[in-house]
Amino acid sequence: MRSVCFLDIREGEVRRYTIEVKGNRCAVKERRVFPSSDLSDIPAGVAQEGVETVYVSIPLSAFNFRILELPFSDKERIRQVLPFELDGMILGGVASVIFDAVVMGKTDGGYQILAAYVEKDRLRELLDRLTSVGVDPMCITSLEVRHALRGFSPSKLVPPLPMTDEEREASAVAEVKEPTMNVRRDEFAFTRGREKMRRSLRVTALLISLLVLVVGVDVAFRIVTARQEIASLRQEIRKAYLDLFPGDKTIVNEVHQTKAQLKELRGREEIYVGVKPLDVLTTLARIGRDGVKFYEVSVERGKVVLRGEADSLSSVQQTQGKLSEHFEGVSIAASETSVQGTTAFTITAREREK
């Protein structure tokens, strides 16, 4: 809910109505009368504290009128063509007046238009006086023009039809809902609302700029954090890769190289399936082998290769016999006497099937 101040300037007084507006409903909340002699005598105190929206009604005598006929009823189009239609009808030309138009009704040839205008000097004097008492109206209209337009005929304008206080009050409420006209336009246009809107837009633009800045900083922070996390993950991946494959010194892409290593291991899977190197080593540990040392034991599926060194060939042969108790196909694949007099040998065997 908002409040509107409506000043009804008439001969001998100024009436102030405080109108409460709630949605489409308007109602007079307060009435007050201030004595006044004419338009140049606006009494101090008519301004209502805390109410920014002000409508002003001026007497019918402040206006001059012309009746025209136009083929359209759109007010904006009418205002565009009125300067050309009125220029030859007004003493001093349209440049000396401020005008507005009211569509009175439809005729056979188009629409009957009432052009109401007021001299710029008179309007400027009125606005200066209103400003001096703290009033900045957004609309300047006339209750008497509204009243005359009901069942309009030119004779109702001169002299103006008398209005009761109740009729003026009802017309003031109707003007707040939808003004009949507004001569506060062109160079006299109400700008406080526009300035307020501009300030609001500037504040909004500033807030949007700050929001964009904050979002930009947040995005930049997230990007930097993400890059740091990616770098940390890459270091961890490389460390894990080196732990798995310490012999690989050329690292370009850990993921692709891991996949390649796994693929290669899958290809060797059949070689290691069924191999029990611990059983072979346990068996070798139980065999007595005087003067015989094994320095390489190779175990593949079904095949065992032993390489070592002995004091003599006979010791190798004795070991061969002992191995035959636990393995099949035990044979001395190679033997060679070294300069030191020891015998290097290679024994091959097969695991027994259980």
pLDDT band at 6 (very low <50, low <70, confident <90, very high): very high
**CA distances to 203, 214, 215, 219, 332 from 211, in Å:** 12, 5, 6, 12, 85
pLDDT at 260: 81
Q: In what order do the strands lie in the sheet with 327-337?
A: 292-300, 303-310, 343-351, 327-337
pLDDT digits (tens, 9 = 90+) for 317-346: 888 888 888 888 889 888 888 888 888 989
Q: How far apart are CA 100 and CA 79, in angstroms?
A: 7
Residues in the chain, overall count: 354
- % of the chain surpassing 90 pLDDT: 31
- Examine the pLDDT at 139 and tell me if it is beyond 80: yes
* Separate counts of helices (H) and strands (E) for the chain: 9, 12
Q: How far apart are CA 81 and CA 99, in angstroms?
A: 12
- Per DSSP, 109 falls in state S
Give pTM, 2 decimals.
Answer: 0.56
Stretch (H or E) spanning 347: strand 343-351
Q: If you search the block for the tokens 């000043």, which residue do you land on?
A: 7
Q: In what order do the strands lie in the sheet with 139-141?
A: 25-35, 13-22, 2-10, 54-57, 139-141
Q: Are strands 303-310 and 343-351 parallel, antiparallel or unpaired?
A: antiparallel
- Per DSSP, 47 falls in state S
Check if the beta carbon of residue 45 is closer than 8 Å to that of residue 64: no
pLDDT at 128: 92
The arithmetic mean of pLDDT across residues 169-192, rounded, is 92
- Per DSSP, 161 falls in state P
Token pair for residue 256?
């692709």
pLDDT at 7: 95
The arithmetic mean of pLDDT across residues 49-75, rounded, is 90
- The lowest-confidence range among 148-162, 224-238, 258-272 is 258-272
Backbone phi, psi, residue 147, to 5°: -65, -40
pLDDT at 339: 80
- The lowest-confidence range among 65-69, 86-90, 265-269 is 265-269
Residue 55 φ/ψ region, left for φ over 0, alpha for ψ in the -120 to 50 degree band, beta for the rest: beta
List, as one string, the DSSP characters of 261-279: HHHHHHHTHHHHTT--HHH
- Examine the pLDDT at 195 and tell me if it is beyond 70: no
Q: How far apart are CA 52 and CA 65, in angstroms?
A: 31
List, as one string, the DSSP characters of 280-315: HHHHHHHS--TTEEEEEEEEETTEEEEEEEESSHHH
Q: What amino acid occupies position 154? A: P
Q: Strand, coil or helix: what is 139?
A: strand
